[in-house]
């Protein structure tokens, strides 16, 4: 089983030692490299747990990735997590209206099974970044940045604060759209300040002044053209033919494969579009889960239903090169509307952040994997 937030690790410390030519002592703890205290992110967005339960947090406004020691020593019970109106409850704690609260992402702690939410208190330039924790017992608490151990890496080629994406949107807010820890590195999808703006960065961990950046190109089926500016909205790593690949979903809604070994610094890589999941839609999250030794991939969407893909269809998938409405590898739809974020809760359950209607309350729901 592969979590959205945790992937197999080759040993970040040894990787960095090879990259920078330094000697690394045997069996170092990665937590011990988090030497700074009291992080001050300008925003909080994408979340991804890595080795030793380190939480990686994307700061789009500051164009940086933070590695946090959340000091969560609990142990999960394996029970489902359920909470109605989690956004309303957090807003009430903070003394604001639910409309002034933005939940950007959700990640489940691999050991405690506590739920972490990246939250912005307010909207616009004055919004305050917060990290919230929800326990299986239904307790909600703010995870204080003050006194927390951390390390931080700024993105080398992030869009400037005034750079635009499309007619209205700030490109900076798309500097980090999704993250995952893969084989000793933090993979960061988003936009860059370069001519071909769609980008996938690889940042070795522990952080050193070293990162690679690859520009991406895809064939956008429903648009009938090649694109280099649309960012990856969500992705997961996949092993195909014994090698690591990135399975990425884009707005409006191509599903694209990239070989990780081709994502080298300074290169421009063309992905393999393997499906068109339907126009007029933004993919929100993607995870994989396993039932009875059979793996599946779930994709949540802004407009379309929850989709389930069989990873067994990926190795033989053909590259789509002509405009079509919906084509490529097959998928099933699941009647579970309003799914915003997902993660593996434990071996038995998938955790969903589900919104009622277009502006209703957000609820935490646990679904049996066997029912999916």
Average pLDDT over residues 146-162: 95
pLDDT score of 253 more than 70? yes
pLDDT at 360: 95
pLDDT at 292: 92
Q: What tokens were used for 344?
A: 């593996």
Residue 20 or 237, more confident: 237
- As a whole number of angstroms, the distance between CA 320 and CA 342 comes to 28
Is the dihedral angle over the CA atoms 364, 189, 166, 122 positive or is it negative? positive
Mean pLDDT of the chain: 91
SS3 92: helix
Report residue 133: phi and psi, to 5°: -120, 130
Residue with tokens 């080298």: 264
pLDDT at 222: 84
Q: What is the pLDDT of residues 107-140, one digit of tens each?
A: 999 999 999 999 999 998 899 999 999 999 999 9
> How do strand 294-301 and strand 306-309 relate by DSSP bridges?
antiparallel
Q: How confident is the model at residue 22 (pLDDT cuts 50, 70, 90)?
A: very low
Instruction: Compute CA distances 307 → 235, 255, 356, whole Å.
Output: 14, 12, 18
Query: What would you report as the CA-atom Rg of the chain, rounded to the nearest whole angstrom?
Result: 19
Burial class (CB in 10 A: 0-12, 13-18, 19+), 126: exposed
pLDDT at 124: 87
Find how far residue 330's CA is from the centre of its chain.
23
pLDDT score of 242 more than 90? yes
pLDDT at 165: 87
pLDDT score of 272 more than 70? yes
DSSP 83: B
- As a whole number of angstroms, the distance between CA 322 and CA 342 comes to 32
Q: How confident is the model at residue 6 (pLDDT cuts 50, 70, 90)?
A: very low
Q: What tokens were used for 222?
A: 């429903």
In the β-sheet with 306-309, what is the strand arrangement from edge to edge?
283-291, 294-301, 306-309, 332-334
- As a whole number of angstroms, the distance between CA 247 and CA 189 comes to 12
> How do strand 268-270 and strand 212-220 relate by DSSP bridges?
parallel
- As a whole number of angstroms, the distance between CA 232 and CA 247 comes to 10
Q: How confident is the model at residue 161 (pLDDT cuts 50, 70, 90)?
A: confident
- Find, among 144, 277, 156, 271, the residue nearest to 219 by Cα: 271
First to last CA, the chain: 15
- As a whole number of angstroms, the distance between CA 293 and CA 300 comes to 23
pLDDT at 16: 38
Question: CB count, 10 Å around CB of 91?
Answer: 18
- As a whole number of angstroms, the distance between CA 326 and CA 192 comes to 29
Q: What is the pLDDT of residues 297-354, one digit of tens each?
A: 999 999 999 999 999 999 999 999 887 766 899 999 999 999 999 999 999 999 999 9
CB 38 within 8 A of CB 149: no
Q: How confident is the model at residue 24 (pLDDT cuts 50, 70, 90)?
A: very low
- Find, among 246, 169, 244, the residue nearest to 201 by Cα: 246
pLDDT at 203: 97
pLDDT at 27: 53
pLDDT score of 286 more than 60? yes
Report residue 354: phi and psi, to 5°: -120, 130
* % of residues, the chain, pLDDT over 70: 92
Burial class (CB in 10 A: 0-12, 13-18, 19+), 318: exposed
């Amino acid at each position: 089983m592969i979590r959205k937030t945790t992937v197999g690790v080759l040993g970040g410390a040894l990787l960095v030692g090879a990259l920078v030519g330094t000697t690394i002592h045997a069996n170092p703890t990665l937590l011990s490299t988090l030497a700074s205290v009291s992080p001050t992110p300008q925003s909080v967005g994408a979340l991804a747990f890595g080795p030793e339960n380190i939480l990686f947090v994307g700061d789009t406004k500051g164009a940086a990735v933070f590695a946090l020691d959340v000091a969560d020593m609990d142990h999960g019970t394996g029970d489902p997590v359920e909470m109605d109106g989690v956004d309303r409850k957090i807003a009430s704690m903070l003394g604001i209206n639910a409309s002034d609260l933005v939940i950007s992402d959700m990640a489940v702690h691999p050991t405690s099974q506590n739920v972490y939410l990246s939250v912005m208190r307010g909207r616009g330039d004055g919004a305050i970044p917060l990290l919230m924790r929800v326990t299986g017992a239904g307790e909600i608490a703010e995870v204080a940045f003050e006194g927390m151990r951390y390390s931080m890496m700024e993105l080398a080629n992030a869009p400037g604060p005034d750079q635009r994406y499309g007619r209205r949107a700030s490109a900076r807010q798309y500097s980090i759209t999704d993250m995952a820890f893969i084989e000793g590195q933090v993979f960061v999808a988003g936009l860059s300040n370069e001519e071909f703006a769609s980008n996938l960065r690889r940042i070795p961990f522990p952080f050193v002044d070293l990162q690679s950046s690859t520009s991406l190109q895809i064939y956008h089926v429903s648009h009938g053209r090649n694109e280099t500016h649309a960012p990856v909205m969500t992705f997961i790593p996949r092993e195909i033919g014994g090698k690591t690949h990135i399975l990425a979903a884009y707005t409006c809604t191509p599903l694209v494969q990239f070989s990780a070994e081709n994502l080298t610094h300074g290169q421009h890589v063309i992905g393999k579009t393997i499906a068109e999941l339907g126009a007029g839609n933004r993919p929100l999250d993607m995870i994989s889960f396993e039932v009875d030794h059979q793996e599946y991939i779930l994709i949540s969407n802004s407009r379309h239903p929850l989709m389930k893909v069989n990873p067994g269809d990926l190795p033989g998938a053909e590259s789509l090169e002509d405009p079509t409405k919906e084509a490529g590898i097959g998928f099933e739809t699941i009647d579970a509307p309003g799914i915003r974020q997902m993660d593996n809760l434990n071996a038995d359950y998938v955790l969903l952040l589900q919104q009622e209607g277009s502006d209703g309350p957000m609820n935490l729901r646990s679904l049996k994997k066997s029912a999916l």
